[in-house]
Amino acid sequence: MNAENAASSDKPLLKVLLCSPRGFCAGVVRAIDSVEQALKRYGAPVYVRHEIVHNRYVVESLKAKGAIFVEELDEIPETNAPVIFSAHGVPKSIPEESQRRNFFHLDATCPLVTKVHREAEIHHKRGRDILLIGHAGHPEVVGTLGQLPDGAITLVQTVEEAETVTPRDSNNLAYVTQTTLSLDDTAEIVATLKRRFPNIIAPHKEDICYATTNRQEAVKRVAPTVDALVVVGAPNSSNSRRLQEVAEREGCRYSVLVQRAADIDWSKFEGIKTLGVTAGASAPEVLVEEILDSFAARYKLDVQTVSGADESGMFFPLPRQLRDTAAA
């Protein structure tokens, strides 16, 4: 037996259940491709308002290629360079300001977020009060609130708030939701609103996006069967944080959200026999592989994929201005 085989045999066995689907969704792919194609077509710099997606690895990779990230448009000098809006969506005031400054802007908002914006606009035109189920301060929520005049949309974050919210006209009411919420938490809030306001109008199709739904369902299957579960993602990523919460709710003894392998507290994994691994919709697969490599340095891995919904057919076209570049 050579030294490598001996070292391998000394490692404890760890069964790893790898959730599928995990990682990038079609909206994230579209947003990242928008920045990369803009750099290819127009050259550096390309300005991006807010993180294009909530993942530091992705942002740093795009910075290295020539993207400049800003939080507000007033950080951008007078320029002919493209200005890209992130996947989370922006208030209407942002493209309006961009036009005033004669910026060439590209909108990388996820089409499923745009769908929520359009729903809210339609409800407003029909004179309805609108409730938005979501988390205060999240860029997607800020963008949705900013589609309409102040006061047109009321934010509801919890079941408790759903119990106390007082719309102006309870018989002329609709709700929309942030796309990256917990399915279970949202269902409780919606049930409360429907009980209090039986005539409330729901979205024609669930606002929580397919990727959020599919990743949470995969975690629900894995979490009860493992000793610990790792979610690869950023702390400011709503969908990643919800995956950790789902794992805890489903009975996983220890679940943790990490950005990189260096973030792992190995003392928390002592004695485990089974491990679940997933990734938020903005986390690249290379980071999942990095996590697995770190466990492989300490354990002999038996990796099994737990497959759920098939997302292979999901695709969103790039912003119109970039499509010919991508095709070429």
H-helix or E-strand containing 15? strand 13-20
- What is the pLDDT at residue 256? 98
Q: At what angle do helices 183-196 and 210-222 cross, to 10 degrees?
A: 120
Ordered structural domains, the chain, with CATH = 10-25+210-307 (3.40.1010.20), 26-110 (3.40.50.11270), 112-196 (3.40.1010.20)
Calculate the alpha carbon distances from 225 to 16, 91, 165, 257, 276 in Å. Answer: 11, 42, 39, 18, 8
Establish whether 140 is a catalytic residue.
yes
Count the neighbouring beta carbons within 10 Å of the beta carbon of residue 93.
Answer: 10
Phi-psi region of 164 (alpha: psi -120 to 50; beta: other; left: phi over 0): alpha
Catalytic residue among 36, 51, 140, 250: 140
Region of 75 please: left (phi>0), alpha (psi -120 to 50) or beta.
Answer: alpha
CA dihedral sign of residues 160, 122, 239, 17: positive
Q: What's the pLDDT at 2?
A: 47
The pTM is what? 0.92
The H or E element that residue 155 is part of is strand 153-156
Is there a contact between 46 and 38 (Cβ–Cβ < 8 Å)?
yes
Phi, then psi, of 62 in degrees rounded to 5:
-70, -35
Residue with tokens 């260096």: 262
Mean pLDDT by 10 residues, the chain (328 residues): 54 97 97 98 97 96 98 97 97 97 97 97 97 97 98 97 95 96 94 97 90 96 98 96 96 97 97 97 97 98 96 94 69
Token digits of residue 2? 């050579």
Q: What three-state secondary structure class fits 212?
A: helix
Report yes or no: 218 and 308 within 8 Å, Cβ to Cβ. Answer: yes
The pLDDT value recorded for residue 13 is 97
H or E stretch at 324? helix 323-327
